[in-house]
Amino acid sequence: MTLSIGLWGLLVVFHWLANRIGTPPYLWLWYQVSLAGFFIGTAIYIRQVFSKIERLDVITMLWRLFIIGMVGITLMLAMLMLHHILDEKLSSSMMTILSPAFYTISLFALLIFFLSGVFIYKRFILYQKTKRKLWSWNIFLGFMMVTLTLGITELFKPNGVPDTLDTSIDILFAVLLLYLATNVSWTAYLNFNQKLKALGLFVLVIVVSVTYLTALDRLPTELDLTDKGIGFFNQLMDLRFVFFIAAFTISYSAISILVLFFNLPTYSIFELKSSEIASFNKIHQAIQGNFNHTDILNTLLDASMLSSNARAGWVEILNGKQTSEVHIRKGIESEEIQALVDSYDMLGRVKEDRQYFLVKNTRRHKTFKHADSPFRSLLCMPIFVKNELQGAVYIANEMSNSFEDVTLASISSFVEQASTAIENAGLVQNAISLERYQEQIKIAKEVQSQLLPNALPNSSVLEFGVVNATAEEIGGDYFDIIRQDDLYRIAIGDVSGKGTTAAFYMAEIKGIFHALSLAKVSPKEFVALANQAISNCFHKGSFLTLTYLHIDVKTRELEMIRAGHCPSFYYSAAEDKISTLRKGTLGLGIVRNETFSKHLKYSDAIKFEAGDILTLYTDGVVEARNTEKEEFGYERFQEVLEANKTKSAQEIGEAVMDAVRLFAGEGIHDDYTLLIIRFL
Partner 1 sequence: MEIIEKQQNGYYTLTPVGDLDANSSLEMDACINGLLQKDIVNLHIDCSQLKYISSAGLGVFISFIDEIEQKGGKIIFSHLTESVFDVFELLGLNQIVTIVTNGEEVSPLFSS
Q: Which residues bind partner 1 (CB under 8 A)?
A: 494, 496-498, 540-543, 545, 563-567, 584-587, 590-593, 599, 619
249 CB-side CA count, 13 A: 32
User: What is the phi/psi pair of residue 676, to 5°?
Assistant: -105, 130
Sequence-separated (6 or more) residues with CB below 8 Å from residue 507: 447, 448, 451
* Distance, CA of 196 to CA of 219 (rounded, Å): 34
* 314 vs 632 by CB, closer to partner 1: 632
Contacts of 294-298 with C-beta under 8 Å, sequence gap 24+, read 294/327, 294/328, 296/418, 296/421, 296/422, 296/425, 297/327, 297/328, 297/418, 298/328
* Nearest distance in Å: CB 582, partner 1: 8
* 302 vs 619 by CB, closer to partner 1: 619
* Distance, CA of 518 to CA of 174 (rounded, Å): 114
| Residue 359 · residue 340 · CB < 8 Å | no
DSSP string, 63-112: HHHHHHHHHHHHHHHHHHHHHHHHHHHS-HHHHHHHHHHHHHHHHHHHHH
* Nearest distance in Å: CB 503, partner 1: 14
| Residue 106 · residue 219 · CB < 8 Å | yes
* 398 vs 630 by CB, closer to partner 1: 630
* Distance, CA of 50 to CA of 254 (rounded, Å): 21
* Nearest distance in Å: CB 537, partner 1: 15
* 162 vs 541 by CB, closer to partner 1: 541
* Distance, CA of 42 to CA of 622 (rounded, Å): 103
* Distance, CA of 680 to CA of 90 (rounded, Å): 139
* 154 vs 670 by CB, closer to partner 1: 670
| Residue 131 · residue 153 · CB < 8 Å | no
Kindly compute the dihedral angle of the four CA atoms of residues 329, 333, 335, 338, in this order, to the nearest 10 degrees.
-30
* Nearest distance in Å: CB 297, partner 1: 36
* Nearest distance in Å: CB 564, partner 1: 4
* Distance, CA of 662 to CA of 658 (rounded, Å): 6
* Distance, CA of 301 to CA of 315 (rounded, Å): 7
* 116 vs 496 by CB, closer to partner 1: 496
* Nearest distance in Å: CB 494, partner 1: 8
* 149 vs 542 by CB, closer to partner 1: 542
Strand pairing category for 487-495 and 544-552: antiparallel
- Label residues 226-236 b or e (16+ Cβ within 10 Å = b): eeebbbbbbeb
* 499 vs 611 by CB, closer to partner 1: 499
* Angle, vertex CA 206, rays to CA 128 and CA 43, nearest 5: 60
Alpha-carbon dihedral sign for residues 106, 107, 112, 115: positive
* 480 vs 494 by CB, closer to partner 1: 494
* Nearest distance in Å: CB 473, partner 1: 16
* Nearest distance in Å: CB 461, partner 1: 30
User: What is the phi/psi pair of residue 64, to 5°?
Assistant: -60, -45
* 261 vs 602 by CB, closer to partner 1: 602
* 286 vs 527 by CB, closer to partner 1: 527
* Nearest distance in Å: CB 569, partner 1: 14
* Nearest distance in Å: CB 306, partner 1: 51
Question: Measured in Å, how far apart are the chain's first and last C-alpha atoms?
Answer: 112
Kindly compute the dihedral angle of the four CA atoms of residues 512, 517, 523, 528, in this order, to the nearest 10 degrees.
-30
Cα→Cα distances 452→484, 491, 567, Å: 18, 11, 22
Using DSSP's 3-state secondary structure scheme, residue 381 falls into strand
* Nearest distance in Å: CB 532, partner 1: 15
* Nearest distance in Å: CB 313, partner 1: 44
* 312 vs 563 by CB, closer to partner 1: 563
Q: Provide the residue count of the chain.
A: 680
* Nearest distance in Å: CB 591, partner 1: 6
* Nearest distance in Å: CB 577, partner 1: 22
* 311 vs 669 by CB, closer to partner 1: 669
* Distance, CA of 309 to CA of 377 (rounded, Å): 12
* 366 vs 629 by CB, closer to partner 1: 629
